[in-house]
Amino acid sequence: MTDPILTARMEANRTDSNTIDRYLETGGYEVLKNALASMTPEQIAEEVKASNMRGRGGAGFPMGVKWGFLADSDPKYLVINGDESEPGTFKDRQLLERDPHQLIEGIVLASYALGVNRAFIYIRGEYPKPARRVQRAIDEAYEKGFLGDDILRSGFSLEVSVHLGGGAYICGEETALLNSLEGRRGEPRLKPPFPAVEGLYARPTIVNNVESISNVPWIVANGGTSYAAIGPERSAGTRMFSLSGHVNKPGNYEIVMGMTWRDLIYDVAGGIRDDRALKTWIPGGASAPWLVPEHLDAPLTIDDATTLGTMLGSGAVVVMDETTDVVKAAHSIVRFFAHESCGQCTPCREGTKWLQDILERILRGEGREKDIDLLLDVSDNISPGLTWPPAMTTICPLGPSATAPILSITRYFLDEVKAYIPVSEVAGV
Amino acid sequence: MSSPIATWSAEGQERAQQLLALYPDKRSAVMPLLYVASLEHGHVTNEGMQQVAELIGVTATQVRSVATFYTMYKHEPVGRYLVSVCTSISCHLLGGDEVLDAACGAAGVEVGGTSEDDLVTVERVECIGACGGAPAVQVNYELIEGVTDIKAIDLIDWLRNTTPEVVLADELQQLFGGQKSFDWGVPEPDGAIAPVPAFGPYGSAEEGR
């Protein structure tokens, strides 16, 4: 069993893992001191690339490769995505509240590697406590000389500040986040240009997730190949999974990928509450198509999830037991996406609202049998072919995400959807 | 630059200047300034948006386009305590809808409404990142996890009877909470003094009680 990377300190130091004193006593900022004294920026970037770590925000793109795209033109920026809003996900909140210095050390190392002198931490507006914890840690880091001008007399300088969001899921999409940080509506941008070429203030910008950057101190300290050696080849490293729903032990668990879903749900998360039967689960946040008990022995890796027509996404696993009304559950998710659609693209703006309205009609007992085909037809208009990964008619994946619960309940629980349709409607009388 | 925010408190004006200096481009300050405006005016008013616009050097319409995009900017007055009940999937599965109904009943309001004494507004919100401690509720954006419908009623009554100056998450959690997403670790000294996220630069965090 591999030791935890991200949560070891907070587990061992329950009451003060967020303070700089504890961070320093447990070896914190030593990696930074060594790196600034003896490593070139290129060497750090090489270690991160060698780690094969795939971004922990949801898309799973290798972080080192993303860094390699950054255009070499000053000024350039690093933006940390702490807009964690995918339903089921609460891992970054724990990392922000309980070990903010780990993130800050990662930010300084990443900025040094990227040649960045200004970084922003974008934290969702509903996270004022995590934002306060991070701001205190930033203030402490400035006092100790780990941030600011000429850090540890290395000649390298970095300014970091926290930006609080205003309540909009879409700002987790990196170009929407950049628009928001610029003081605009959080509407995703057309890509290309990608942020690495034209990002914040139209300057080269890297946007990385909180968990991704929190791994950087360990990777630089232990070497990228050590990180790559942990777990399955294309799902390297440890990873935070947020378990919620009808499990006995909900919470965040830092695990090595490659175990089975059965291990995760029944062992790590303690099984289903009241010994009920498992009905279905969402494997990677509300955007992910659901899995059912026949998939319990599939390995938990990024690529195996793709093979099953779904994704690990943000690492949010939402478990539903046999008592769950899956139509109501799907409605909760569709309502979420309808609420959070930014409104730019017609298929998403109109389609998500139609999906919500039709589901509400069905739940009221006023559905027609053809409403099931209508749900799939609207879904197909948002994401043609209903394939995986989803085809897009929209600038960002929010619209296609809203079709995931529709596909899931019609694929696995069609009888339960039909049970809501009045008999007279089914018989056509 | 002397007139625009003359109606703001000295503290608010000082915060505005700090925020403008924080970013490479002043426009980036629009979101934090809208929180300052919310504090100064009680909610996002036309006057507040106008003043933010003048501070940044954009039109009031540009500020409005931002202020209407994000759910945390309130364009109508809200109660002294904004009670936000999550009913997204994990909270839905564990009774978030019942918590919302109970909170509305205790406050005597429909979803989104404000109690007659102007103390409590109850709103439905989408996922607030507390899924392991579902169902979750926030009061002025300070979190309570593992709330039941019964506890939600107690919470509303307590807010109206006690009218705390500072909303402290640890206190609320102890009184009205249950299952948490994770160990919260050290107690948090700061809390919220208004229905605006309590984050230092925006001015609503206070040390202790």
Please provide residue A180's backbone torsions phi and psi, each rounded to the nearest 5 degrees: -60, -45
Query: Residue A333: its chain B contacts at CB < 8 A?
Result: 88-89
Residue B202 predicted with pLDDT over 70 = no
- pLDDT, one tens digit per residue, over A289-305 is 999 999 999 999 989 99
User: Do the Cβ atoms of A115 and A76 come closer than 8 Å?
Assistant: yes
Question: Quick check: A89 and B129 in contact, CB under 8 A?
Answer: yes
Task: Give dist(CA B101, CA A210) in Å, integer.
Answer: 35
User: Are A183 and B205 in contact (CB < 8 Å)?
Assistant: no
Fold observed for domain A238-321: Ubiquitin-like (UB roll) (3.10.20)
Residue B181 DSSP one-character state = S
d(CA A316, CA A242): 5
Interface-testing mutation among B179, B182, B204, with chain A (most A C-beta atoms within 10 A): B182
| Contact criterion met (CB below 8 Å) for A40 and A117 | no
The CATH code of the domain at A326-427 is 1.20.1440.230
Residue B1 confidence (pLDDT):
44
Is residue B137 helix, strand or coil? strand
Cα separation, B1 vs B21, in Å, equals 14
DSSP codes of every residue in A183-232: TS--PPPPSSSPTTTS-GGGS-EEEEEHHHHHTHHHHHHH-HHHHHTSSS
For residue B208, pLDDT over 50 is answered with no
Residue A196 Cα to chain centre, angstroms: 19
Handedness of CA A20, A25, A31, A34 (dihedral sign): positive
pLDDT tens digits along B111-120: 999 999 999 9
Token readout for A204 is 């080269």
Q: List A residues 209-248 in contact with B (Cβ-Cβ < 8 A).
A: 242-246
What is the model's pLDDT at position B203?
55
Whether A243 sits inside 8 A of B143 (CB atoms) is no
Terminal Cα-to-Cα distance of chain A (whole angstroms): 62
Which homologous superfamily does the CATH classification assign to the domain defined by B81-207?
Glutaredoxin (3.40.30.10)
Would you state the structure tokens that stand for residue B73, as one six-digit string? 């900017």
pLDDT of residue A427: 58
Where are chain A's structural domains? 8-228, 238-321, 326-427
How close B175 comes to chain A (CA, Å)? Answer: 19
- CA of B49 to nearest chain A CA: how many angstroms apart? 13
Nearest beta carbon to residue B31 from set A90, A183, A328: A183
Whole-angstrom Cα distance, residue A270 to residue A249? 5
Give pLDDT, residue A59: 83
Residue with tokens 């695990």: A255
pTM for this predicted structure:
0.96
The model's pLDDT over A135-152, given as tens digits with 9 standing for 90+, comes to: 999 999 999 999 999 999
Strand, helix or coil for residue B183: coil
- Which residues, including other chains, have CB under 8 Å from residue A241's CB and lie 6 or more apart? A91, A252, A253, A254, A255, A264, A268, A315, A316, A317
pLDDT tens digits, one per residue of A62-78:
999 999 999 999 999 99
- C-alpha A401/C-alpha A396 separation (Å) is 10
pLDDT at A383 over 80: yes
pLDDT, residue B107, reads 98
Indicate the residue of A164, A166, A251 with minimum beta-carbon distance to B181.
Answer: A251
| Beta-carbon separation of A169 and B28 below 8 A | no
Q: Which residues of A touch B30 (CB under 8 A)?
A: 183
pLDDT > 70: percent of chain A: 99
pLDDT in tens, A196-252: 999 999 999 999 999 999 999 999 999 999 999 999 888 899 999 999 999 999 999
A8-228 CATH choice from 1.10.3720.10, 3.40.50.11540, 3.40.50.970, 3.40.190.290 = 3.40.50.11540
Q: What is the ipTM of this complex?
A: 0.96
User: What fold characterizes domain B10-67?
Assistant: Arc Repressor Mutant, subunit A (1.10.10)
Judge whether A297 and A261 are in contact, CB under 8 Å: yes
Angle at B132 between CA B85 and CA A93, to 5 degrees: 85
Q: Which residues contact A55 (CB under 8 A, 6 or more apart)?
A: A61, A62, A63, A66, A208, A209, A212
Helix H segments across A301-397?
302-307, 326-340, 346-363, 370-382
Q: What's the rounded mean pLDDT across residues A103-108?
A: 98
Cross-chain Cβ contact A88/B182 below 8 Å: no
Strands B137-139 and B120-125: unpaired
Residues in B 129-188 with any Cβ partner in A closer than 8 A: 129-134, 138, 141-143, 169, 179, 181-186, 188
* Cross-strand bridge partners of residue B114: B121
d(CA A89, CA A92): 8
Instruction: Indicate whether B104 pLDDT > 90.
Output: yes
Q: What is the DSSP string of A47-86?
A: HHHHTTPBPTTTT--BHHHHHHT--S-SS-EEEEEE---S
- Residue A201 forms contact with B (CB below 8 Å): yes
The pLDDT assigned to A57 comes to: 87
Please report where in the chains the tokens 């696993």 appear, as a residue.
A317
Q: Per-residue pLDDT for B100 more than 80?
A: yes
pLDDT tens-place string over residues A337-373: 999 999 999 999 999 999 999 999 999 999 999 999 9
Question: For residue B126, is pLDDT > 50?
Answer: yes
Is the CB of residue A14 less than 8 Å away from at least one CB of chain B? yes
A341 → chain B, closest CA residue:
B69
B125 neighbourhood in chain A, CB within 8 Å: 126, 167
Report domain extents, chain B.
10-67, 81-207
Residues of chain A contacting residue B65, judged by C-beta atoms under 8 Å apart: 184-185
Q: Which of A17, A84, A318 sits opposite B129 (nearest CB)?
A: A84
Helix (H/G/I), strand (E/B), else coil: A254: strand
Which residue in chain A is spatially nearest to B206 when comparing CA positions?
A132
Instruction: Give the contacts of B3 (CB within 8 A, at least 6 positions apart).
Output: none
Work out the mean pLDDT of chain A and round it to a whole number. 96
Cα dihedral A317/A323/A328/A330 (nearest 10): 30
Closest CA to A167 of B131, B103, B138, B206: B138
* Amino acid letter for position B98: E
Q: Note the maximum CA span of chain A.
A: 83
